[in-house]
Each structure stands twice: as structure tokens, then as C-alpha cells.
Structure 1
Amino acid sequence: MKNTLSFYSRQICRILLGLSILLCCSCNYLDVAPPEKPTVSNGFDTEAKGLGFLLSCYSGLDAVYASQNAQPELGFSKAPSWMTDYNCQATDETIPYFGWQTTTLQMLQGNVTPSMKWTSDWTIPYTMLKQCYLFEEELAKVTASWLTPDLRNRWLGEIAFLKGFWHLYLLQYYGPIPIMESLYDANASGSDLPGRSHFDYCVDRIAQWLDEAAAVLPAKIDNTEWRRATSTICKALKARLFLYAASPIYNGSFPYPNWRNTNYETPGYGKELVSRTYDPQKWDRALAACKEALGFALNEGGCSLFGYNAASRTQDFTDIDRLMNAEGLTLDKLKIDDRTDENFLKSVMLMRYLLTTIPSDGNREFLWQMGDYMQGREVLIMPYNIIKDSNGSMQGGWVGSGATLYSIEHFYTKDGKLPEYDPEFTPKTEYFQSADLSNKNIIKLNHNREPRFYATFSFDGDQYSPIIVDGEPLTLQTRVSSLHGYAPNRGLALGGYYIKKWIQPDIRYKKADGKASFKRHFAITLRLAELYLNLAECYAALGHDAEAMDALNPIRSRAGVPELTAQMVAESGMSITEWVRSERFIELWGEMHRYYDLRRWLIAPQRMDATSFQGLNAQVPDPTFEEFNQRITLTNLGGKWHTRMYLLPIAEHEVYSNPNLEQAPGY
């Protein structure tokens, strides 16, 4: 018999009210009892309990963004970070270790089916939407004096935000989705449940929720409320929403032109699911939203690019100097590309501190931060054998991921140009020759690059970190198997390049006990740089090249590369759109954007084939310099793209249980 609860995850929700949080226990079963609803008397008899109920509506965020804070007792045990979640790793940015990331490898190999474990990406949002409607329903009954009109409005604004957010989360993965407008009766038949709504209808409805929330929420909050919604976050997400809606995949170029609903009809759209014609007004709408979001964030939201002086359009190293001094980190401890230029060295440190600091460190770039899931999880990407402790044991990381050669070749040179388009950079035929620096292991490809390159990647002969070995530097020896090179049955940067991004530059391993001084920093969901890049993309799409460059240049200036000029664009042979996409690739590398960008731009077939996954010849024990430094294709990684992979499939049992629900095309 078909399960009538499947669409909204077929999970038991046993609501347990405490002083600080309402916990909803979720499980996947074919037949379950309806949820037990909290009553006003035990859910809202104090403001603290009411706030706990509200915060329970945020709890799913721990499962989809955090890891330390994931709550398996709620049924939320996915607990990804960017380093372990398939939707970040299954791109052309990174090479996952073959022994790990089974879901990632299946995606890279094109083995995406409805029977795979996509359940949490579908059920967690709908479970949390159910919780939101339950909260809203019960809040309407509260008459207690502590619930002032302002407090009620703020709480309802947060619920409206979460409705918009969770639908947007689903939209990014699945395209057109069912819109949940109310708390459905647990005994409703499958035919009474909605099917997918037209993509444009979904976009408009999500925007309505975000607008509703932005009208009543504060523009900024203090650090004690760091995860709660603000009007700044609402406007930023609306800008992202409209940008995605204007992108090629949903603006006239959807790869399955005949895909439509069989039964369900969207008001005003019938059974259609995706628009078939290009609409330039979608870019106009996205541009307006991006301008509003950026302006609001810079003003009412109190945000600013970390390490950037907007008035002078130059870098600001005030916080960098303070942070380095606090850890005894002086410039003479840094060895980066044999460079002694103070601004260059500080630029590298600025970009390293960018994602490893919090507001109390002076970092006001983040609009929305999920939690301290990175505390101690840096070991997932750090190299093995960092230090020998007092017991003689080697301590270090797990090396679960490395960078592709594509990533290495698509960060800028010191002049702010892509290597293949920079006439001053070393010729491609000489990339893998020694750069003849003080460390002869450093190759020409890794020499004379921009600060973000050295803040993001590490390689043979590079100083991985200046004081990590109990106050001393660690220089990578990726050709030595007993240190940081290939060894069977352990993690490995398979392409020869390690990741530095997210590794705090002042981390130390102590010889006494082998422990590291990991610090708390946040999982980043929104930061100001994305708003600049979103705005630049809209301008480029509308043919406003000068305005697009103006939006890009704060990002470039902060990173320590020359501002983009019309002459540079003309001489490069790249369009302004290609410049925007290159800047986005570099600035947001590894921050869970590339997965979506490859799809919305319809470039995944070119970027996700077998030849996209290349690296150095690092899977050889103790290779010579010449053996190691050569380009190879990682054929055992896979690299196979199918058109159906533009959208994730819905689990088979969900489609079976709801006759109105269409499977994604091609599955």
C-alpha cells in the first residue's frame, strides 16, 4: 500500500520541549504515527521555552552545514563539512582520496541514481518546514503578556525566512519542487499532496517569503544570536535566488525541453515546469536584487570586506598585523615563493585569515555563519606526519582531499591574469621545470602566482605553515613517502597538491603531547565577496562591462592583484563573462558554489569529463623530480557526465508515494 506520509519524509516527530530547544525525532519508516504536537501550556508558557521552540526550527542547519553540532538524536546525522560533502567535492576543484568519499566518487563516475542516499537532502528541508508550520500554528494561540507585538513579528519573520531558505535549498538541488504552504494532515493521501511547481513560480514564492521576513527582521544581530536570521541575510539570499533564476539552465536553455508534469498543475503555468524561452528581464530583476543586497549589507548590515579599505580601494592590514603579533608570527618566519615584498606576504596572510577568523577578530565579511564545525576538522585536509611527539609517534592530518591541476592552472599569476593568457608567465611547456628558487623542488607553475594561490594550495617545497611544528615551519616534501608523499592505505593528495584554505596560519602542534591548537571558526554560508561577484555577473550578462569590472575590482584589490581594466580584458582574449567566472572560481574556491555554478551555466559536460581530473604523478613511492612533475589523468577517479545530473533525483519511494510528483528527467 502506498505510504501517505512519504512526501514530507514519512518520519515520526516526537516533540520534546525543554528550556532551550524543542527536539524533533525523525526516522524513515513506511508506516508511522502522526506527530505529537506540543501544547501552548508546555511550549510557550515562558519566553525561554518559546525561543527554544523557535530555535528548533533552525536545527536542520546543523545537519546540512555543520558537523560538530549535528544532532543524530533528531535523525540528522549527515553532518557534512565542505571537505566531506559530495555537493562540494563532486566538482573540478578537488580530488577526493579514492578510499573515502564514496558518494562523491559515484557522482564523479556518473553513477547517480534515485536509489542512492539522497534522502537527507530531500527530507531534512521538508521536516524542518513541517516544524516551522507547527511553530507558526501554535504561536497563533499564545496570549501571554511576555509575547509583545515586536517579539511576535520577529519570530514570525524568522519562520518566513526559514520557509524561504529551505525551499531555496531544495531548489538548488532539485530544480522545480513542491511548495509546502501549510502543515499537511498526516493522513492525507498521496494524491492530495502537491507535485512540482513551475520553477519560476517557486522563485516568486521564495522571494515573497524572504521579502516578508526582511520587512520585520533586524539588519544585524550581536554575537550571542549569530545563527539567527536578519534582513541582510534575506536580501542576500534573494539576490542569489534571482541570479540562479536568470542563469542559462532556467532561462531558456533547460536541457530537457519536454519535461513537464503528468498530473499536477501550477497556477498560471499549467503542467509546464521550466520556461523554454530566454527572458532578459530575469537579469534585470537579478541585477536590482544584487545591487540592493550589496548596498544593504555594506550600510545597514554593517559588513565590509575583510582587510579592505573601501574609501581608498586598497588593502588594510591593521587586523592582520594584530593577529600575527598575537601569535608571534613575524614576516621573517614566512617563506613564500622567495618573495620579500611586505605587502605580498601580508596579502597571503590576509587571505589565510579570511576564513579562519570570526567577528571578534575584526572580520565583518560574513553575513551568515552556521557554527564552529571547523574546530578540529582541519585535519581532514592537513598532511600526514607534521610532528613527532614525545612518545616518538608522528602526528598530523588525514589528507582526505587535494586540488586538481585545473584548479592550480586557473588561479591568477602575480599580475592578476590566468597563466595561459599571461605573456609574462612561464610558457606551458616549462610548467613542470624547477623554478630555480632556494628550494629546487618548487616548479615554475607554482612560482610568481597571486596571494590567493599561496593561501589556498600547498605543494612540494612550499612552506605549509610557518609555526605549525611547535613554533617552527613545515615545508612539504611530497615526494618522500615517509613524510608527505605517497604511501598505500592512507589519505593522499592524489594530484600532488595539498589544500591550505581553512587552515589557520597560527596553528601549532605541540611536541609534548602531539595536540594541535585548533581554534573556533565558522561554517560560512554567505559572505560579502559573493555579493560583489553576483553583481558583477549580472552586469556582465547585460553587457555593462565597465560596471562589471567595478564590481570585481574590490575583490581583486583586497586579494592583492591589479584591478581589471578594459585594456586587460581586450588583450586577454577573454570576455567579461569569462573574467567574472574566473574571479568567482578563485575567490569562492571550495566554498560549495562550484557544484551549482557548473550546472546553472550549463558547462558541466566540458568541466566534468575524464580529462578534467588531472594532477601530478603523485601516486608513486619516492619518485624522482622528473617522475613526479608530469601531468597525468586520474583515470581511476572517473570523470563521467550525464545530462540527467543537472538535477538530483528524488528517492524512488518518494515518487512512488505521491502520484503528483515527477522524477527528475533522465532517471
Structure 2
Amino acid sequence: MKLLINKTISVFLGVLLLGLLPACEDFLDRQEDEAMTFEKIWKNRSTVREYWRNTMSFLPDDANDFNFSPWLGASDEGTVTYNRDFRWINFGSWNPTSVPYERMQHYYKGIRECNVFLANVDRTSDPLVSEEEIQEWKVQTRFARAYYYFLMMRNYGPVILVGDEELDFTATTEQLERPRNTWDECVNYVVSEMDDLAGKLPEEWQSSSDYGLATRGAALAVISRLKLYSARPLFNGNELYSGITNPDGTRLFPAFNGEKWAEAAHAAKAVIDLGTYELYRAGNGDPYEDWMGITNEHWNSEIIWSTGYKSRYIMGVHTVPTGVPGTAYGGVGPTQQQVDAYAMQNGRYPITGYQGDGTPIVDNTSGYPANEFSKEQFTNPAFDAGYNTASDDSENMWPVLFKDREPRFYMTVFWSDSYWKHGDRHTLISFAKGGNGNKSHDYPKSGYILHRFYDHSLPSHSGQWGNIVFPTFRLGEIYLNFIEAVLECKKNGIAIPTDYETEAMNIWADLRDRAGMSPITDAYAGASTEQLIDLVRRERRVELAFENHRYFDTRTWMIAEETDGGPMYGMNIDAEAESTTDTPDSFWQRNIFETRVFQPNHYLYPFSQREIDRNSELVQNYGW
């Protein structure tokens, strides 16, 4: 095996050329104690284990990447004020030569590393390495490899499957050209890998040192999410993409198949039936503490898999208002559209749509106030949960649009003229112009800031941020996957077990009970199947807010032209504050902070133009 190759060779020809080449190159670069050779790696347990860890190092860092990736700031749930390259997505200024947050090369490199490890690990000669340990490393590596494919598929659709192939690197560039596999081929590969691994991975972590490794539930959870995406309109009968074919005429995107909804339902049910996971509850009946515990209680009963136990610094420092002493770059916040998405205390969703000028269309039975900006003195219920408590006065005059909302609202949305709790201190914050939360470029453009991922019990002003286990996969998502799939089966006349619908409604009631609300069938008695499908989409938006779902949900549902394009609303951050803590009345009005562009070709990423130029077999995605 050659140990040197030009690093400038890139993804498709690049990955295929680099495919199983010296994945050890970066690994070998780190060996400072001796001139490590490829053969020597497999003779020592420590180097074999290090190589295995290297295969896993390409997994995304969801906690530290949360405002650098597009999943928050390029969806209608959030705004990120910093000049990230994904803003090209928001303004429609991206193209195959300027692809923001491009990770395809990264993941194919990870696949290459996995293939090299899998092809060579059985050569390990160190007697300290047991067969059991080798098998554990192999299944974890296969999990990572399949997951890398899944991560590319959700952005690009069908990709090129390399499999275990060891390529002939003496071949010409033309001989290494490859077409894309079809969507169904890609899905079948990832599902078959994860399904096989589910029978080999442990059911639960054996010790704290295993936290973050894949389990049976993790493999089944990946299948659940992928099957759900595969059943949705983007990848199931999408007419826009029906004409995308390989040079030999092979259609890359499938025709509609309603049975895929049944597959999605079965996949979610398989995770639920493990009986390994349960919705996190603190045990005292407090819905505020219950829901915040999802991200505050490390490795809790709801977490199926996480990309790791991370410092909360990156998430905290970008969501703590600049008015709070210490390091603070607070510029990540919810949009007004996301604020409007939360239900009222009675469980009904108040905003059903918008008029042309952005005026909300209100469900009059929800209890939402007729004049949303009239002010009343009321207590933010989060005060009782200890998240925003003012040191001297917990009641302010606030617009009534914040009154009588569900618990998840108060644990996610922080608004101006409120006290931010940081340890045992509290700071009054203003996001108006000249306010202490509106400094330089570090401010939330919507006039709201996200405070779900900040640990309010710690004094960040003293540099204490704590840690977080980001919920990459959790039971709440699997519940919602199952509910949606069951309802879509009913809508499309797809046969599923008769008890599925009853179970779907029961777990939906359990999810809402944890959030302090009555069952959806009480709040919307007599709702039709179509209405329930709309409602479970709304439930998903707030239950999984800022967990990297909304971006992919709007695209796979193919509603992003409506949701992710056009005006994005917030409060009037240009209203002049009279002091650093003043929030003037003129702040409280719906205001367009950004107008975004979403065209039909934006549903999927374009393949880089350099790959199109180098691989005549590679077909570009629709509209690019």
C-alpha cells in the first residue's frame, strides 16, 4: 500500500483516488516518537486503538458546531448574526463554485479511513488485543462509516457508494470515474449496515467510558430518521427531480411509494420497542425542569446517542447577551416565526399563518390576545424554574404575546427587558439599539435570544460554562417519527398493525404531558388526519427546536419555499434605548430583519463544480 498521495486530489475522483489510500497519513504525521510505518501500526495495541479513534474523528461535533453549520441559521427557526458562509444560502448567492459548509470531502475522507482500518485491523499481532476488542472496534467503525453516508445523503441526495472496495491506484483518472448510486440504493446500503450492526452492538453502555459510542438503539435510530426522510416528498415521488438520471439513463430519485411510510413507522417502532429509553422527567412533576433536563442532565434516560460530552462554552458564549459580564458574544436567537410556533397553555397553537404584510392569522380559540403588544404585568413562569429570576422584582410590564404560553416557550425564548440569570447574579438585558444586549455585531437580529443551551446555574461571568450532552438522537424524536409515519399511513391508505394508531396517540399524549399540556386530541377534538399531520409537524418544530431538525424537516417536507424564503421577522432592534437597560415601547413591533431567498433548486446542495468537471459520470442536482 502506498503511503504518500497528493492531498490536493479531491472528493469524487479525489475520494475514489484517495479511497483506501494511506488514511494513515494524518495519523502517521502525529507520531513524534518514531518514524512510524504502516506495517508497524498493526503490531501495537496503542497505535491500532489510536487508528480506530481516528476513524471516528470525522463525526460532526453538534455542540461546538451548532451556530457554524446552516441547520439553525439557514432555517426559519433561527438567526445567527455572525458572517458565516452559510448566509449565502439565506440570500441565494451560493452555487457549485461557492458551496457553503461543504463537508463532502470531509466525510469521504472519513469513509476512506474506515475502509483502511477495516481492511487491516485483523492483522493486529499484539497479544494484548483480544478478538472481542477487535470486533468492538470494527462494529463502531462500520457505524461511523454508514453514518457518514447518511450525513451526505441528507444534503446531496444520492451519492457514490464506495463500499469496501480497495481501488487500483495505478488506474487512470477515466477508469476511476463513477456515477451516483440511486437514492434507494444509498438508503438500502445504510439501512442494511445499521440493521446488521444492531445485532452486534451492545444494547446499553457498559460503563461511563462507553458514553458516545454507538449502541443498538443508535443504529436503529439512524434507520428511523433515514426511513422517515425517505418517505417524505423530497425523496419520495419528487417531480422536480424525476428527470435527474445517470448517463446510462438510470433514474436517481424514486417514484412515489406509499409503503415507505409503513417502513418509517416500523423503523421508529423498533426503537420504541427496545424499552431501553424513556422520556426524561425529573420526578417532581415540573414540566420546566423536565424539559430542560433533556440538555441539562448528562446522559439521561432519553438520550439514544450523542456526538459527545462537550464543554458548553461554544453554545453558551454565542447565546449569552453581551450585557452579561465576562465573555459574551450573544448573537443566536429565535425568529419571530419560531416564537409564534409555540402553543398556548390550553395546548392550541395560536398563529395559523400570516397575511401578506406579515400580520399573524390568529386562532381565536387559542386564547392569544387580540392586541399582542398591549402590556400587562405578569410573571415569567421560568422564574419558578430558576432560569431568569430577577434579584429584586420578578414581574415586569411585558407584551401579552408572551403570556400564557406552554413551558417549552419560556425555556427556549428570552426576550428583551428581562433578567438573565448567570449563577447567583441577574442582569437586566435590552436588545434595543444602544442596549447592553445590542453591541457591535454581537446581538440577536430578531431581538430574541436563545437560552436553552446556556447553563443558568453557573457564573459564566467567572468563566464557568459547564458541559452538555447534545441530543443528537433522543426518544422524543423517535416518538414524533412514529406519530408522523402512522398518520401518513392512514392518510395514504397504507396497511399497518391496528394498534399503531392507538400507540401513536398515547405516546403523543405522553410527550405533551411532559411539556405540561393536555393531549392533542383534547386540544383539537375531532381533528381530521390531515389536521393531525399538520399538528405533529408543529409539535416537532417546538419539541426539537434548535436540535438540527428544522432545516431538514422543511426541505424533506418540501415546504421550504414557503417557510425559509421571504421576510424573517423579529422585534424592532433599531428602536433607540434611553439607557443600556431600557427597552422602549417602539421596540415592540413586528419588524423584518432579513429577507431570504429560497428557490426550488435549494432543496439539495449542489455538487462542487470541480467534481462535476473531473467526473464525467457525475450528474448535478436539479437546477444547479
Fold-level similarity (TM above 0.5): yes
What's the counterpart of residue 76 of structure 1? none
Work out whether residues 176 and 199 of structure 1, in 8 Å CA contact, stay in contact via their aligned partners in 2. yes
Are positions 1:157 and 2:131 aligned together?
A: no
What's the counterpart of residue 183 of structure 2? 199
Q: 1:397 to 1:248 in 2, by over 3 A?
A: same
Shift of 1:591: 0.8
Are positions 1:256 and 2:230 aligned together?
A: no
SS in 2 for 1:524: coil
Unpaired runs of at least 5, structure 1 = 26-35, 68-79, 264-269, 309-315, 318-342, 388-394
1:169-568 aligned within 5 A: 169-181=151-163, 182-188=165-171, 189-221=173-205, 222-263=207-248, 271-276=250-255, 278-296=256-274, 298-299=275-276, 303-307=277-281, 316-317=283-284, 346-359=286-299, 363-377=300-314, 378-387=316-325, 395-420=326-351, 423=364, 425-427=366-368, 429-437=370-378, 439-465=395-421, 468=422, 471-479=424-432, 481-484=434-437, 486-487=438-439, 489-509=440-460, 514-543=461-490, 546-565=502-521, 568=524
Work out whether residues 405 and 495 of structure 1, in 8 Å CA contact, stay in contact via their aligned partners in 2. yes
Q: 1:127 to 1:547 in 2, by over 3 A?
A: same
| Cα offsets for 1:70-93 (capped at 9, x unmatched) | xxxxxxxxxx52122123320000
Q: 1:284 to 1:16 in 2, by over 3 A?
A: closer
SS in 2 for 1:575: helix
| Cα offsets for 1:446-474 (capped at 9, x unmatched) | 01111110110111233432xx1x51333
Q: 1:570 to 1:110 in 2, by over 3 A?
A: farther
Specify the code of the residue in structure 1 equivalent to 2:448: Y
SS in 1 for 2:304: strand
Work out whether residues 94 and 100 of structure 2, in 8 Å CA contact, stay in contact via their aligned partners in 1. no
What's the counterpart of residue 70 of structure 1? none
Name the CA distance, whole Å, in 1 between partners of 2:142 and 2:431: 50
Which is worse superposed, 213-222 or 567-576?
Answer: 567-576
SS in 2 for 1:384: coil
Name the CA distance, whole Å, in 1 between partners of 2:166 and 2:217: 28
Are positions 1:109 and 2:91 aligned together?
A: yes
Work out whether residues 5 and 186 of structure 1, in 8 Å CA contact, stay in contact via their aligned partners in 2. no
Name the CA distance, whole Å, in 2 between partners of 1:515 and 1:567: 45
Name the CA distance, whole Å, in 2 between partners of 1:219 and 1:541: 30
Shift of 1:524: 3.0
Name the CA distance, whole Å, in 1 between partners of 2:218 and 2:463: 34
SS in 2 for 1:521: strand
What's the counterpart of residue 632 of structure 1? 591
SS in 2 for 1:453: helix
Specify the code of the residue in structure 2 equivalent to 1:57: T
Name the CA distance, whole Å, in 1 between partners of 2:451 and 2:149: 33
Specify the code of the residue in structure 2 equivalent to 1:597: D
| Cα offsets for 1:606-660 (capped at 9, x unmatched) | 101213x1111112321764311111122xx231111111110111111211111
Specify the code of the residue in structure 2 equivalent to 1:447: K
Specify the code of the residue in structure 1 equivalent to 2:520: L
Specify the code of the residue in structure 1 equivalent to 2:223: K
What's the counterpart of residue 141 of structure 1? 123
SS in 1 for 2:526: helix
Shift of 1:117: 4.0
Name the CA distance, whole Å, in 2 between partners of 1:523 and 1:556: 21
Normalising by structure 1, report the TM-score: 0.79
Work out whether residues 86 and 101 of structure 1, in 8 Å CA contact, stay in contact via their aligned partners in 2. no
Tell me the matched-pair count. 568
Normalising by structure 2, report the TM-score: 0.85
Specify the code of the residue in structure 2 equivalent to 1:410: A
Q: 1:599 to 1:451 in 2, by over 3 A?
A: same
Name the CA distance, whole Å, in 1 between partners of 2:226 and 2:589: 42
Are positions 1:619 and 2:574 aligned together?
A: yes
Which is worse superposed, 589-598 or 535-544?
Answer: 535-544
Unpaired runs of at least 5, structure 2 = 1-7, 352-361, 380-394, 491-499
Name the CA distance, whole Å, in 2 between partners of 1:187 and 1:23: 23
Specify the code of the residue in structure 2 equivalent to 1:153: Q
1:595 to 533, 541, 551: 551
Name the CA distance, whole Å, in 2 between partners of 1:154 and 1:655: 38
What's the counterpart of residue 30 of structure 1? none
Name the CA distance, whole Å, in 2 between partners of 1:458 and 1:425: 22
Name the CA distance, whole Å, in 2 between partners of 1:22 and 1:105: 34
Specify the code of the residue in structure 1 equivalent to 2:294: L
Q: 1:571 to 1:177 in 2, by over 3 A?
A: closer
What's the counterpart of residue 338 of structure 1? none
Shift of 1:254: 4.1
Shift of 1:568: 1.7
Work out whether residues 69 and 101 of structure 2, in 8 Å CA contact, stay in contact via their aligned partners in 1. no
Shift of 1:11: 6.7
Work out whether residues 353 and 504 of structure 1, in 8 Å CA contact, stay in contact via their aligned partners in 2. no
| Cα offsets for 1:527-548 (capped at 9, x unmatched) | 1211111111111111275443
Shift of 1:293: 1.5
What's the counterpart of residue 267 of structure 1? none
What's the counterpart of residue 65 of structure 1? 61
Which is worse superposed, 168-177 or 204-213?
Answer: 204-213
RMSD: 2.7
Work out whether residues 6 and 653 of structure 1, in 8 Å CA contact, stay in contact via their aligned partners in 2. no
Specify the code of the residue in structure 1 equivalent to 2:185: Y
Specify the code of the residue in structure 2 equivalent to 1:417: R
Shift of 1:566: 5.8
Q: 1:202 to 1:16 in 2, by over 3 A?
A: closer
Name the CA distance, whole Å, in 2 between partners of 1:16 and 1:39: 7
Name the CA distance, whole Å, in 1 between partners of 2:457 and 2:303: 21
Name the CA distance, whole Å, in 2 between partners of 1:403 and 1:66: 18
SS in 1 for 2:86: helix
Name the CA distance, whole Å, in 2 between partners of 1:288 and 1:531: 11
Work out whether residues 411 and 418 of structure 1, in 8 Å CA contact, stay in contact via their aligned partners in 2. yes
Work out whether residues 545 and 576 of structure 1, in 8 Å CA contact, stay in contact via their aligned partners in 2. no
Q: 1:5 to 1:385 in 2, by over 3 A?
A: closer
State the identity %: 21
Q: 1:566 to 1:429 in 2, by over 3 A?
A: closer
Name the CA distance, whole Å, in 1 between partners of 2:584 and 2:101: 46
